[in-house]
Amino acid sequence: MKPPAPYLPVPSPALSQADHEALSDLYIRGTPANTLRAYERDLIYVTAWKQARFDLPLRWPESEATALAFILDHARDLGDAPEEDIARQTAEALILQGLRKSLTCPAPSTLDRRIASWLAFHRMKNLTSPFGTPQVKQARSKARRAAARPPAPKSQHPVTRDILEQLLAICRGSRRDCRDRAILMLGWASGGRRRSEITGLMFEDVSLKDFEEKSLVWISLLETKTTTKGETPRLVLKGRAAQALVHWIEVGEIQDGPLFRPISKADRVLKRRLSPDAVYQIVKHRLKLAGLPEDFASPHGLRSGFLTQAALDGAPLQAAMRLSLHRSMAQAQKYYDDVDIADNPATDLLG
């Protein structure tokens, strides 16, 4: 996936054409695919916003006045604004283009991401961004606080051990059942893996050298949202989870290539990789078969469920984070804080 020119470093007279091409290639290889997709969406949005707001294309570097206007336009609800309000008119134009959903104030995280992308474009062009000036930085900080809202959970409920057992109970005997059982157990027991991490696994990422003697399976993740290539530690599956994964490898006759794959209606394992969205469909399907609402939890419930269960069982936060690979202790701590204090193992210290 080659990104458009605004994502790449600006040509420099100090570099030869070959060196510039090598630098551009370095930017492409060193930027995760998800980040490139976010850059593309954000560049389309800010370009359309400025065209609708000022009838002008983007400038490099952008002006401080434009940066302030962008923050102000995205720091309030526009539904009650007068129809002649330029910010409202701009938002309506973006809605018509399918780039904005409503006139309500965007989430602070959305504004932060778009500004971060805009900043990145300036850095790539070796230019100073207006978002670094004192007034714009202060306005951005005030906008973030003014629009603050309680974070929405990524999964309605955590898939704790009792819920996981219900999902596993209806994975009985077909190849599809074996695959889904392995996905659920690996996704939960290895620390709460994200969908992309599960579907990105290759057969070569799994080591079975300790399975026969110790019932251990080692897993190497290429990279995650919080780690880069070569920095991700090996993860381990033990006991039932290790057995479920090995059983799937045997039943699916997986000898190389993607670890988890689609299965045809005839219960035949296909060769291509399972998509991240398929993990969402698997969780939804298994919830339904277990007699739970389909929207009871999302795949992120495996991640939140692992950490919630770790808190319920009294596992130290640092130990859980070694598997979940959370970079922020504050972020991981939220799952521990969500556990009812009456269920906290520390309340039983006296017996």
| Nearest alpha-carbon partner for 184 in 303, 55, 314 | 303
Confidence label for 5 from pLDDT (cuts 50, 70 and 90): low
Domains and CATH numbers, the chain: 5-146 (1.10.150.130), 161-346 (1.10.443.10)
Confidence label for 1 from pLDDT (cuts 50, 70 and 90): very low
Q: Give pLDDT, residue 10.
A: 62
Q: Return d(Cα 344, Cα 341) in angstroms, integer.
A: 5
Higher pLDDT, 249 or 345: 249
Confidence label for 310 from pLDDT (cuts 50, 70 and 90): very high
User: Which of 82-86, 141-145, 330-334 has the least mean pLDDT?
Assistant: 330-334
Q: Give pLDDT, residue 3.
A: 47
DSSP count for the chain of H helices, then E strands = 15, 3
Q: Return d(Cα 217, Cα 246) in angstroms, integer.
A: 8
> Does 348 have pLDDT greater than 80?
no
Instruction: Give the number of other Cβ atoms within 10 Å of residue 101's Cβ.
Output: 9
Q: Return d(Cα 263, Cα 94) in angstroms, integer.
A: 41
Query: What is the residue-averaged pLDDT of the chain?
Result: 88
DSSP state of 104: S
CA angle 218, 261, 287 (to 5 degrees): 90
Structure token digits, residue 67: 């940066």
> Does 334 have pLDDT greater than 80?
yes
Structure token digits, residue 161: 């051990």
* 122 neighbors 60 (Cβ within 8 angstroms): yes
Instruction: Please tell me the pTM assigned to this model.
Output: 0.67
Q: Return d(Cα 111, Cα 143) in angstroms, integer.
A: 9
- Cα dihedral 29, 31, 33, 39 sign: negative
| pLDDT tens column, 145-191 | 888 776 667 778 999 999 999 999 999 889 999 999 999 999 999 99
Q: Identify residue 114 by its one-letter amino acid code.
A: R
| pLDDT tens column, 279-307 | 999 999 999 999 999 889 999 999 999 99
Q: Give pLDDT, residue 19.
A: 80
> Is the peptide bond preceding residue 158 cis, with omega within 30 degrees of 0?
no
- Report the residue count for the chain: 351
**What mean pLDDT is predicted for residues 46-54?**
96
